Amino acid sequence: MIKSYLPFNDFFTSSFCLAFFYAFGVVIPLSFLFDFSTQITLALFVTVIFLVITGVYYVVFVAQVTMSNTAKLSMLILPTACLTTFPEVLGMLLDAPIFLSNESRYFNAWYALAVAVISYTWALIDTNLQFKKNSTNIQNPIELWTINIYLADHSFEEKDKQRSLTALVTTWVLIGLVMACAFLLPTITTEPNDLKLLLAKVGAMIPTAALIGILFMFMGQSTRVMQLERKIGKPLTFRNYHLRLKWRHDYVKYHLPAPIRKLNLRLFNQHVEAYERLQKQVKSSRT
């Protein structure tokens, strides 16, 4: 979840996609909950999109890359999973009463809670085991699920390839089957509408497990890493920060859309100037 660059390698595409899904996941449920008018809903939608794009700019181009900041950002992403966690909201949005059975209402929310607890606890325990296993030789990196930690210089970097999640995913599937058999199937009859409800609820469990599970797995890992930071008395530094600076420089200088480059926006151009100034300092120090 920590990268030197954005998905799609493009600030505008990445930030707008995240902003749209965030606004959809937050504003639409609120509009049904509080019965907002169309004008208020639209205004909130646009406002949230603007705020998210501004936030993405801050995260990518301004904020330091730390475990604490990344964990906070991950929690802010949580509302994007609202429509899978509460498919009843989606049913209201699509005017589909098939989701609104009183017998199994909020089943997916309980499943999301189970996945969150399992993933967080699993990651916390696994991270602690990895710390104990590699505590004797600080020269070797501690390989966690999403990052590598280097105790020798108190730094971390993102992994090119994550460790296998087979055991954790299998646990999500098993707990889902147990919950479906214990709480969902007893409420279902052979009526076509009930069978459709079963498919809808089970179908919503798949993205719920993926979104909630990965998020809380990362949160469990981050919690243990931040405990390590407090123990050593200083935050870990992002090992590949120079790659992030280079991505900023190359993106702004060579890939930013021409109309925006012509505006000579200070917010973006300052990153080009900062990186080029840093490169000159490195070259002069070598000579």
* CB of 87 closer than 8 Å to CB of 75: no
Domain check: are 150 and 108 in the same one?
Answer: yes
Domain check: are 218 and 249 in the same one?
Answer: no
Domain check: are 110 and 212 in the same one?
Answer: yes
User: Per the domain annotation, does 229 fall within a domain?
Assistant: yes
- In the numeric block, the tokens 């995260």 are attached to 59
**Which residues of the chain fall below pLDDT 50?**
none
Q: What is the pLDDT of residue 93?
A: 65
User: Per the domain annotation, does 33 fall within a domain?
Assistant: no
Domain check: are 230 and 249 in the same one?
Answer: no
Domain check: are 132 and 219 in the same one?
Answer: yes
Domain boundary among 224, 239, 254: 239
Domain check: are 226 and 111 in the same one?
Answer: yes
Domain check: are 104 and 217 in the same one?
Answer: yes
Domain boundary among 239, 257, 279: 239
Q: Report how many domains make up the chain.
A: 2
Q: What is the pLDDT of residue 113?
A: 94
Q: What is the pLDDT of residue 94?
A: 63
* 60-65-69-74 Cα dihedral, nearest 10 degrees: 60
Q: What is the pLDDT of residue 123?
A: 92
Q: What range does the domain containing 262 cover?
A: 240-287
Q: What is the pLDDT of residue 114?
A: 95
Domain check: are 254 and 149 in the same one?
Answer: no
User: Per the domain annotation, does 81 fall within a domain?
Assistant: no
Q: What is the pLDDT of residue 99?
A: 61
Domain check: are 135 and 210 in the same one?
Answer: yes
Q: What is the pLDDT of residue 1?
A: 53
Q: What is the pLDDT of residue 111?
A: 93
